[in-house]
A and B are shown apart, each in its own frame.
Chain A
Amino acid sequence: MLIRAELVTPELNLVNRSFYNSLFTMHGTIMIFLWIIPSLSGLANYLVPLMIGARDMAFPRLNAMAFWIVPPAGLLLLSSFFLPGGSAQSGWWSYPPLSIQNPSGNILNGQLFWILAIILLGISSIMTAINFVTTIVWMRAPGMTFFRMPIFVWTVLSAQILQLFFLPSLTGGLILLLFDLCFGTPFFRPSKGGDPILYQHMFWFYSHPTVYVWALPAFGIFSEIIPAFSRNPLFGYRSVAVASLGIALFSALVWVHHMFTSGTPNWMRMLFMLTTMLVAVPTGVKVLAWTATLWRSKLHLETPMLFALAGVVMFLFAGITGVMLGAVPFDLHVNNTHFIVGHFHYIVYNTITVAIFGAIYFWFPKITGRMYAEGWGKIHFWLTLIAANLTFFPLFPLGLQGMVRRISSYNPEYAKWNFIASLGGFLLGISILPFIANIVSSWLRGIPATNNPWRATGLEWITTSPPPRENFAEIPAVNFPPYSYGQPQAWAGENSPQE
């Protein structure tokens, strides 16, 4: 909100330039590493064992260790604001040579804290990935074959496989950056024969797949909510399951599209244009599957479904702009402009965060044993829908008109759209309030929930709300294909056990 406040007017008038640079650097870093990844991991941590009929994750102590790394790493990152030179200020990518310049000259500087915090969080994520992959492979209940798992589990599996294999590239790159920053090594120093483009490759080799680490569980959430509120099995379940792995695979092959304007040879730009375009195919399979699930069904429009539907539509828009960005000549015009900022905010806020809201409403009765207030949920939804579009849609025309990103002041010709975006930003901030109020008050005093208030399929709905400590009184055996909305025994009744 500070960023949007500064950008209300073309001139610099709220914060100084260095601080503005730390603001957008830390905004990106915190949102990615301390909001999206941890909250999705947390949601999956809670749901995956329930969904596969297990009592807990495969390695509970490792799980705890992975969690407890996060708060200290977060504190380390935030504390950098209080350092004499301020926090890291080179953008969340920390591109060298800028990130190794260390203008303050201090040994303890914001960039160092940033690198250490991210390395720590990476270690936590790898531990989590080991845990999830082992859990899903080894701890499914009897009868739960791979092709009976809910799509959420498929997407978590795909996402965690990505984390396992690609996060080390970031870790490696950050270690090299650390050495350059602290010990004066020449890895990324052009004056000493090093190459900043190497950093970009190491960084993006992870940081592209990571966007799918975030998006895949969001797709999984849509795949759980939409069938439940359409009373239909998910259309094309198998293709959607395979597409989850397909997205993971393809996402490994596109990272250079973040470097189309960088020091990449022409042939490389063309190759990665092709692969980037192709990633739209498995993603499209999912969107079309959700659409087909809705078709000729019986829709219930409670809050979780509203968020899921809005998320799907806004994702479609974001995805289409993504394919546009894959077209290199077009990207040459809009790279590093607000067009990109708009594109990725439509993904991370309008799709993923919206999915997380939907998930919280959907599983709230299960987790807390109480129902949230539906009316307030709808208010939160409408405010979010309006505000999210108001805030991020203007960024597209701004980018097309040439407004570069990461600037603290801009030419007056961009003022109109910026004003609308800032208005939206403030509205977005306000829209969170009914959500928080709803969650807190419902958790404390809401109507007690039944085991399965949504009459949804899935093993998590057959246990009590909230589940007992070991998740299930008895490990269930699975006899139905997933999303069996046509078979009432699969979802009806509060306490009816599986056959």
Chain B
Amino acid sequence: MSLFKVFDVAGGAMNAQSVRMNVTASNLANAGSVSGDPEKVYRARQPVFSSFNESMAKQTGVAGVRLDGVVESAAPLLQIYQPDNPEADVDGNVYATNVNTVEEMVNMMSASRSYKNNVEMINTTKDLLLQTLSLGR
């Protein structure tokens, strides 16, 4: 019964979106962090999604979502002159993280909307299946 596959597909997508939400939370939590060593500064992380079973999708019409991994942003760090900061290096500079707060807020909204869409999809499909079960009663 092909309706059952919807649960797998939507479940996978919800998992991917919740990872995205976690990564966003981690980015926002570290948005204010600075360090004297550019190597040790927190860098913004982004999850990478890819389509699962893309080659099979032509036959079955089903393509789930898979999380390929989490990559660190290569955006430049902000160098701030703060000689009285205990973290400052010999030149009196600290490096701020490259997390973009506005971008992360938008990411969070987008992830939560996508998650809700998948929940709705599961609810609708569940209703359809339940109605099918009571057919002819």
A and B together in one complex: no
Binding site for A on B (CB under 8 A): none
Binding site for B on A (CB under 8 A): none
